[in-house]
Amino acid sequence: MKMKFTMLEFVAVLLLAGVISSYGQQANYITTGFGAPVSYKDASLTVGRRGQLLLEDTEFIDEMAHFDRERIPERNGHAKGAGAFGYFEVTNDITRYSAASLFERVGKRTRIAVRFSTTGAENGSTDTRRDMRGFAIKFYTDEGNWDLVGLHFPVFLIRDPILLPSMVHAQRRNPITFLRDANQQWDFITLRPESIHMALYMFSDKGTPDGYRYMDGFGVNTFKLINATGHHIYCKFNYLTDQGLRNLTAARARQLEAQDPDYAIRDLYNAIASNNYPSWTLYIQVMTDEQARNSSFNPFDDTKVWPEDIYPLIQVGRFTLNENPTNYFQDVEQMALSPSNMVPGIKPSPDRMLQGRLFAYPDTQRYRLGPNFLQIPVNCPLNVRNYQRDGAMSYNNQGNNTVYHPNSVDSLNVSQRAAALNPPYSVSGDVYRYDDGSEDNFSQATNFYLNVLDEAGRVSLVENLVRAVSPAAATYQQRALDLFGNVSADLRARVQAGLGL
């Protein structure tokens, strides 16, 4: 089946299916929000030519009251972004690892929505700032929506979700000065040395990708795949750009921040508008239970990568973005992506950060968009039937269907397939707050410095670190140097020289 349709056609299908009502069609004249034809659009109702406004001007009040409520809270993180639609197509059979319906056969296509973003700054900020980029994909599969909410770095700054709010606060504005603050940034990073791996990505030229098309994406967290016989395997998702990697020099990125703050949004929109569709190839890396137990590093620690020589990339498919949103707020601002949106065949691993995220995203989205945010067309799955009802803005309240389970009326059963793909699994361990002191914080950062970067890359990294650390107080500069020394004596010496210490 060809699974490619526009949002309009999607709504039309829902209409035909009687899922949503046919009210709210376009009139060919101007109306109020309540649908009454407007008598005059260019003047409010006044007492005489130069007199007061009247409370009975419901056309004015309708217009102004809606305007007063036009803004919704911006995302608490990843506030500035760009989105597009397209499709995913399977190119390689991975059914021995996952029974997810979207992977069921080579050639199968699934409609997707993608949102790219910067992470640390506000909605009005610049696209080319040094930052990690969000790269999140919603797959509208025939067994529900699966969201792969990833980044353009393969690793994250922390490994325990309880530190996430503090991590974010430290990187944001100082609450007194309302300025970004090198002291609080380096204070946090140096007290949590596991941060250094991602910090090196951030301050290398990878921290300034050239727009959104020339960068890779990574699921970052570790997931679990379940196959049709109920066996599981751990997995990382990597999606590599077919356009080739490109990054900006720090100087060029700063120049663009001044000249074209919306550089990445513009680049993506124009590429798609001119039929120059960007694509990425999706790969998995897999690890068995036994390999996970034997691994020299914790495979559920999102500050670590899985070395490709031990866990090679296995191709899965390719996704292509070929459709711009028709309305940014409707399709992109209201998009609600969450790692908790999983489908049969894809499950969470014990990765702590992932477990924490499973709660955080739908929680923030109920607040940001309201309790029925899953009924907004861009978030709405292809099929829904359950016993959830009511709440603010319930648009599809499921008509006269039975509202409780079990019942003797609707004769609906759960899916046998979903039951088979959720076999029992055992866990054990003493309940405690483990902050594992034996965890290796530096080996992979050292490898990044020595082997992933070439000499030119190390030169840029050092320049960028010197620029970032120099505004910090002497005590934080010293602690940062010690941290760099844990990565490599060479890195420490070069940054120290750059700081003139």
Ligand X SMILES: *[C@@H]1O[C@H](CO)[C@@H](O)[C@H](O)[C@H]1NC(C)=O
Rounded to a whole number of angstroms, the minimum distance from the CB of residue 73 to ligand HEM is: 8
State which of residues 149, 189, 346, 491 lies at the interface with ligand HEM (CB under 6 A). Answer: 149
228 binds ligand X (CB under 6 A): yes
CA 232 to chain centroid: 25
Piece in contact with ligand HEM (CB under 6 A), picked from 249-257, 331-339, 418-426, 443-451 = 331-339
What tokens appear for 46 in the block? 């006044």
The least distance separating ligand X from the CB of residue 40, rounded to whole angstroms, comes to 28
Buried b (16+ CB within 10 A) or exposed e, 290-302: eebeebeebbbbb
Q: Where does residue 105 fall: left (phi above 0), alpha (psi -120 to 50 degrees), or beta otherwise?
A: beta
- Asked if 378 is part of the footprint of ligand HEM (rule: CB under 6 A), the reply reads no
Contacts of 478 (CB under 8 A, 6+ apart): none
* Residue 428 contacts which entry, ligand X, ligand HEM, none (Cβ below 5-8 A, type-dependent): none
Site for ligand X in 448-467 (CB under 6 A): 453, 457
For ligand HEM, the binding residues in 209-248 under the rule CB under 6 A are 220-221
Side chain identity at 327, as an amino acid letter?
N
Nearest distance, CB of residue 48 and ligand X, angstroms: 37
Stretch that binds ligand X, among 112-120, 314-322, 336-344, 482-490 (CB under 6 A): 482-490
Site for ligand X in 429-448 (CB under 6 A): 435, 437-441
Amino acid found at 433: R
77 binding ligand HEM? (CB under 6 A): yes
Q: Does 61 bind ligand HEM (CB under 6 A)?
A: no
Whether a cis peptide bond, with omega within 30° of 0, leads into 307 is no
Flag whether 361 is marked binding.
yes
How many Cβ atoms sit within 10 Å of the Cβ of residue 101?
A: 18
Write out the E strands in 199-249: 217-218, 223-226, 232-241
Pick between residue 154 and residue 345 the one whose CB is nearest to ligand HEM. Answer: 154
Which of ligand X, ligand HEM, none lies near 150, with the C-beta cut-off 5 to 8 A by kind? ligand HEM
Write each residue from 440 to 459 as x if it is in contact with ligand HEM (CB under 6 A), else as -, in one continuous string. --------------------
Determine which residue in the list 96, 169, 252, 405 makes contact with ligand X, applying CB under 6 A.
96
* Minimum distance of ligand HEM from residue 147's CB (angstroms): 9
- Please report, as residue ranges, which positions from 4 to 63 form the binding site for ligand X (by CB under 6 A): none
Per rule CB under 6 A, is residue 148 in the interface with ligand HEM? no
In sequence order, what DSSP letters do the residues of 460-474 get, joined into one string? HHHHHHHHHHTTS-H
> Of 189, 67, 245, which is closest to residue 484 (Cα–Cα)?
189
Three-class DSSP labels, 287-315: ECHHHHHHCCCCCCCCCCCCCCCCCCCEE
* H helices present in 2-57, as ranges: 7-16
**CA distance linking residue 275 with residue 279, whole number of Å:** 12
399 binds, among ligand X, ligand HEM, none (CB under 5 to 8 A by kind): ligand X
The nearest distance, CB 382 to ligand X, in angstroms, is 20
333 touches ligand X by CB under 6 A: yes
- Closest by alpha carbon to 110, among 243, 3, 230, 241? 3
Task: Report DSSP state, residue 229.
Answer: T
Ramachandran sector of residue 401 (left: φ over 0; alpha: ψ -120 to 50; beta: rest): beta
Per-residue x/- marks for ligand X, 360-399, CB under 6 A? ---------------------------------------x
- Residue 225 phi, psi dihedral angles, 5° rounding: -105, 145
Task: Pick the closest to residue 317 from 140, 101, 151, 102 (CA basis).
Answer: 102
Candidates 163, 236, 241; CA nearest to 206 is 241
347 binds, options ligand X, ligand HEM, none, Cβ within 5 to 8 A by partner type: none
Out of 131, 181, 205, 331, name the contact with ligand X by CB under 6 A: 205
C-alpha count within 13 angstroms, C-beta hemisphere, residue 10: 19
Pick between residue 118 and residue 460 the one whose CB is nearest to ligand HEM.
118
CA 156, 157, 161, 166: dihedral to nearest 10 degrees?
-150
Specify the residue, 183 or 243, whose C-beta has the smaller distance to ligand X.
243
Q: Does 337 bind ligand HEM (CB under 6 A)?
A: yes
Q: Which spans of this chain sit near ligand X (rule: CB under 6 A)?
A: 71-72, 74, 95-96, 123-124, 192-194, 204-206, 227-229, 231, 246-247, 290-291, 294, 333, 399-400, 411, 413, 435, 437-441, 453, 457, 482, 485-486
Binding annotation for heme:
361
Q: Which spans of this chain sit near ligand HEM (rule: CB under 6 A)?
A: 75-78, 81, 115, 117, 134, 136, 149-151, 156, 161, 164, 220-221, 302, 335-337, 353, 356-357, 360-361, 364-365, 368
Binding annotation:
361
